[in-house]
Amino acid sequence: MIRGAYSLTIALPKGRNFEEAVSVLRKAGLEVPTLQDERVMTLGQQGGTGILLLRNADVPVYVDLGIADAGVVGKDVLLESGRDVYEPVDLGTGICRISLIRHPDSTGPIRRVATKYPSFTSRLFKERGWALDIVELSGNVELAAVTGLADAVVDVVQTGATLKQAGLEEVEVLAHSSTRLIVNRQALKLKSQILRPLITKLRELSGKI
């Protein structure tokens, strides 16, 4: 992508969340190019809307550093990233929660926690004064609680059905998550004529999508 080639560049997550993000943006009146191949890095014609297809965790990075003007990503990803981005709209999709989870047989003190969210988990429990060993995992986090690799896990929960099947208990909800529109702070000033109407429209739609 040539920087500055598009009137607006938006970072979107690959996979299932991509379709939801595109649907929301199109309802808000933004012309989003049609996806032909998810392997491509950018979409769109010069002068129009450019799309960066990224891993979830990379969306806040590209927006914070100004490669993308805006993006769509889950609050859970934002909490982990710690990036300084403007978060003007809760789109009301992808609703879930980040929870502390244990096996019912694990009744002793929590000393080791496994999670896909090491930065968020470490930050949260340091604020509580807990000294924990944080183990970062990228696969089936619940397995760490089942096998005894960790005393507890911190992971995303939607319905809780997976936990019940694994025989685990949701001990505490640590944070709530849903999909958010995020905006680069400098872009909000430089491209306000495009971004502010988009934000206004998305706020109007957020309760109806």
Q: How many domains does the chain have?
A: 2
Residue 89 and residue 182 in one domain:
yes
| Predicted pLDDT at 30 | 87
Question: Hey, is 143 helix, strand or coil?
Answer: helix
pLDDT band for position 38 (cuts 50, 70, 90): low
Residue 85 and residue 150 in one domain:
no
Could you tell me the CATH number of the domain that includes residue 43? Answer: 3.40.190.10
Residue 16 and residue 113 in one domain:
no
Q: Is residue 114 within 8 Å of 153, Cβ to Cβ? A: yes
Average pLDDT over residues 93-104: 94
pLDDT exceeds cutoff 70 at 1: no
Residue 89 and residue 189 in one domain:
yes
Average pLDDT over residues 166-185: 96
The three state secondary structure string of 19-48 is HHHHHHHHHCCCCCCCCCCCCCCEECCCCC
Note down the domain range covering 119: 96-176
Residue 195 and residue 136 in one domain:
no
Q: Is residue 150 within 8 Å of 114, Cβ to Cβ? A: yes
Residue with the larger pLDDT of the pair 14 and 11: 11
- The span from the CA of 33 to the CA of 25, in Å, is 11
On the CB side of 86, CA atoms within 13 Å amount to 15
| Predicted pLDDT at 99 | 97
pLDDT band for position 2 (cuts 50, 70, 90): very low
Residue 111 and residue 43 in one domain:
no
pLDDT exceeds cutoff 90 at 141: yes
Residue 105 and residue 161 in one domain:
yes
Task: Say what the pTM is.
Answer: 0.87
| Predicted pLDDT at 176 | 96
How many other CB atoms are there within 10 angstroms of residue 145's CB atom?
25
